[in-house]
Chain A
Amino acid sequence: MNMESIEIIAPRYGIAWYPRAVEYFFLVALAYTSLWLALPGAVFGVNRWKPIARLALVGAVTTAIAAPVSLLADLHQPLRFWHFYAHFTPWSWMSIGSLILPVFVVLTIGLAWLVWREPMQDWRGERGIVGWVARVATLGHWDSPRWLIVLTGLGAFAASLGMALYTGYEIAVLKGRPLWHTDFLPVMFVATGLIGSVGMLLVLDRFSGMRAAELATAPQTPVVSPSRAVSRQLLGVLLVACILAGITAALWFAVGLTQADPSVAAALDSVKGNPDWRAMTFRAVATGGVLFLGVLALLMRPGIRGLGWVFGLLALHTAWMFRWAVLMNVQTVQRQTAGFSEYQLGMGSMGLLGIIGAFALWLTVLMLIEIFVPWRAALDGPSTVPVSKPSDGVPSHG
């Protein structure tokens, strides 16, 4: 019998995880993937990767400090966070994560401290609060032992693998939401995280003046070539990350179609039944395509790499929107009733204000590091960067 049903009475459930969750998954993915980009230069001393390591350490530390704040804010009882440690629960991914996260944050900051305290030694004689911070934070006149940097770096790397694993499986383990319940999700989190962190580094590279400074001191050739190792390497990693994300998405879809993976079936169902989901899917595919082609163009045409930061922003957008779709939009799919609940981003601290606040916190941490840490001089970087004098106002890094 064919039947037509109308749901007359059903509860409409709101979402239980707010944009705070997206902030956390976004920032923490930037943190652990930035750490990976910092490792070759900062820990293993590969000279070619040291310029990227300088940027990546700043990226990793700032996001690693900002991320847990968003996580805490997504708890409905934030002051009870200590319950995580009073009642450790080894069979819960979230509980396991509550142990890995502080280890990761502490080791990442520890690695940066070991690397940064060397150039900070030169600032010990500075007047005012900058000199005072340099004198206190460096904890004396001694060189950071090489073995300690390697050990801390390896520890942070191990913790970062734990972060990638736990943040992925915390979501993928949930059978209750078929769209989440797939092993492809943790891989996709890593791939889009890498896309986002390279995007962040491209933007940092541009707006920290690193790019302008390097180009200004580069030997002038008859034809000014803006081809730099940093841009080339970052764009190369971004291309690899895009390909990884593309392959993962394609495999998820192909495997799902052939073996009837419930997550693919649920996705098709949602796309079929809801115009918003169709629009979202179209936007995602289009953004991914533009990003991939753009990166490819920048790699082949060094002359237009000044636009790298624009694609950096697009990469950050991709990493953010993937998490938004996965964590927010999936929550609007009803599970025992028909249709979708509508979610409208609020203006308050659980909505837009919270998102702005999270990025403001990140920016604050970045500015504090900018003020107190000569991070550009770390890892054999140039000790003086020709940025404009304070009297010149805001530097232009065109």
Chain B
Amino acid sequence: MDLARRLFMAQAARITAGAAFVPLASVAQAGINDQPPRRDGDAAKRYAMLIDLRQCIGCQACTVSCHIENEAPLGKFRTIVSQYEVENEETGDLAQFMLPRLCNHCDNPPCVPVCPVQATFQREDGIVVVDADRCVGCAYCVQACPYDARFINDRTQVADKCTFCAHRLEAGLLPACVESCVGGARIIGDIMDPDSQISRMIEEHRDELKVLQPDKNTVPHVFYLGMDERFIDRPQAAPGLWDVRDSAGAELGYEYGEH
């Protein structure tokens, strides 16, 4: 769809009488911290991502390409692959575990209702975005996200997060992280379309898929295949590289923050 047509349709949707009444009705109904109605985006779609951990080698190509595509400031990430070294205490065997992380574009996103100016909202297609021109940088959404998927962008001084590269999706491109994934571990698509690759994979692996922190009732829409349940919540792990200290106990540095 070309840009002019898309803009026209967005305008047409906005001026229909039904749409105009939605906010008023929702004001009357929405309790404090309830989800406000979704807006913008294609209501016929629901974008989601499936991450096949069996294919992930922890190369961080997604981290780098996302960083370049979305111009995140140094030390802040819209997506990153957490890496763990896991040792079997009985056998001493070592294994690596990779956990690519990004915004989960939850169906019940806790970051959306807290926003005091409605700058962060969920589109009809499920993508959670931030209107950077409206955001006041109060960081309430940063606190509300249980996945640490949001941050304040040091350059723009507003909330920043993964958007599933909505700008690329609209141009018919794949998100930067999906495009650059060497193992093809990241699959994005419309789960309302039964023929999409993601729908077929969800159908095939329905019982094996896991999401992060399901007890938070956020209904994440980033699904993990080959996920170890010990990493679903905050992992019981020693934070290895964080303790870079000299003999006096003073912190020597940190590889992300001190470029």
A90 lies within 8 A of chain B by Cβ: yes
* Chain B residue nearest to A77 in the complex (CB): B137
Given A1-B88, A6-B85, A7-B82, verify A173-B136 contact (CB < 8 Å).
no
Q: Digit string of A311-355 for contact with B (CB within 8 Å is 1, else 0)?
A: 000000000000000000001001111111110000000000000
Rounded to whole Å, the gap between the CB of B245 and the closest CB of chain A is 11
CA distance A4 to B236 in the complex (A): 8
A95 to B101, CA, bound (A): 30
- Taking the complex as formed, is A63 at the interface, i.e. its CB lies under 8 A from any CB of chain B? no
The smallest C-beta distance from A238 to any residue of chain B, in angstroms, reads 32
Chain A 83-94 interface mask (CB, 8 Å, partner B; 1/0): 110110111111
Closest-by-CB residue of A relative to B149 is A336
Q: In the assembled complex, which residues on chain B have CB atoms less than 8 Å from the CB atom of A81?
A: 136
Q: How far is the CA of A10 from the CA of B75 in the complex (A)?
A: 11
Number of A-B contacts (CB under 8 A): 202
Q: Within 8 Å CB of A9, what residues of B?
A: 58, 60, 80-83, 241
CB <8 Å contact, B118 and A337:
no
- B146 on interface, CB distance cutoff 8 Å: yes
Contact B237 A95 (CB under 8 A): no
| A48 within 8 A of partner (CB) | no
Interface size on B, residues (CB 8 A): 69
- Contact between B143 and A176 (Cβ–Cβ < 8 Å)? yes
Bound complex: CA A170 to CA B33 (Å)? 10
> Closest chain B residue to A98 by CB distance?
B116
B83 touches A16 (CB 8 A): no
Contact A92:B86 (CB < 8 A) given known A10-B239, A334-B148:
no
B230 to chain A, nearest CB (A): 7
A90:B27 contact, CB within 8 angstroms: yes
Chain A residue, CB-CB nearest to B251? A342
Whether the pair B136, A16 counts as a contact (CB closer than 8 A) is no
Distance between Cα atoms of A176 and B216 in the complex (Å): 8
Q: Identify whether the interface residues of B are mostly helix, strand, loop, or mixed.
A: loop
Distance in angstroms between the alpha carbons of A9 and B235 in the assembled complex: 13
Question: Complex Cα distance A121/B113, Å?
Answer: 50
A34 shortest CB reach to chain B, Å: 26
Q: Residues 177-198 of chain A: 1 if any B CB is under 8 Å from the residue's CB, otherwise 0?
A: 1000000000000000000000
**A8 touching B85 by the CB < 8 A rule?**
yes
Chain B nearest CB, measured from A212 CB (Å): 44
Is A132's beta carbon under 8 Å from chain B? no
B235 lies within 8 A of A95 (CB): no
Q: Which residues of A contact B240 (CB under 8 A)?
A: 6-8
Stretch at the interface among B5-13, B150-158, B182-190, B195-203: B150-158
B32 with A175: CB separation less than 8 A = no
CA distance A16 to B138 in the complex (A): 8
Residues of B within 8 A of A91 (CB): 30-34, 36, 113
Q: Does A76 contact B139, Cβ atoms closer than 8 Å?
A: yes
Q: Verify A94–B140 contact, CB threshold 8 A.
A: yes
B148 with A17: CB separation less than 8 A? no
Are A92's CB and B235's CB within 8 A? no
A2: shortest Cβ distance to chain B, in Å? 4
Residue of B nearest to A95 (CB): B116
Q: Does B18 contact A (CB under 8 A)?
A: no
Tell me the bound Cα distance from A182 to B122 in angstroms. 27
Query: Cα distance A5–B32 when bound, in Å?
Result: 40
Q: Are A17 and B101 in contact (CB under 8 A)?
A: no
Chain A nearest Cβ from B39, distance in angstroms: 13
Of B36, B151, B230, B235, the residue contacting A13 (CB under 8 A) is B151
B107-159 contacts to A (CB < 8 Å): 110, 113-119, 134-140, 142-148, 151-152, 157-158
- B47 within 8 A of partner (CB): no
- Cα distance A11–B234 in the bound complex, in angstroms: 13
- The reply to whether B257 and A12 form a contact with Cβ atoms under 8 Å apart is yes
**Minimal beta-carbon separation of A222 from chain B (angstroms):** 61
Q: How far is the CB of A21 from chain B (nearest CB, A)?
A: 9
Q: Whose C-beta in chain A lies nearest to the C-beta of B213?
A: A336
Shortest B127–chain A CB gap in Å is 19
Asked whether B158 lies within 8 Å of A335 as measured between CB atoms, the reply is no
Least CB distance from A163 to B in Å reads 16
Chain A residues within an 8 Å CB radius of B83: 7-10
B241 touches A8 (CB 8 A): yes
Besides A12-B256, A92-B33, A98-B116, 5 new A-B residue pairs in contact (Cβ under 8 A), listed by A number = A80-B136, A91-B34, A175-B146, A334-B234, A341-B242
Measured CB to CB, the residues of B under 8 A from A are: 27, 30-34, 36, 58, 60, 75-77, 80-90, 97, 101, 110, 113-119, 134-140, 142-148, 151-152, 157-158, 212-213, 216-217, 230, 234-242, 251, 254, 256-257
Ordered by A's residue number, 18 sampled pairs between the chains whose C-beta atoms are within 8 Å are: A1-B88, A2-B90, A5-B235, A5-B237, A6-B84, A7-B237, A9-B58, A9-B80, A10-B80, A10-B239, A16-B143, A75-B137, A76-B139, A176-B146, A336-B82, A336-B101, A337-B239, A339-B237
Q: Which residues of A contact B (CB under 8 A)?
A: 1-14, 16-17, 74-77, 80-81, 83-84, 86-87, 89-96, 98, 169-170, 173-177, 331, 334-342
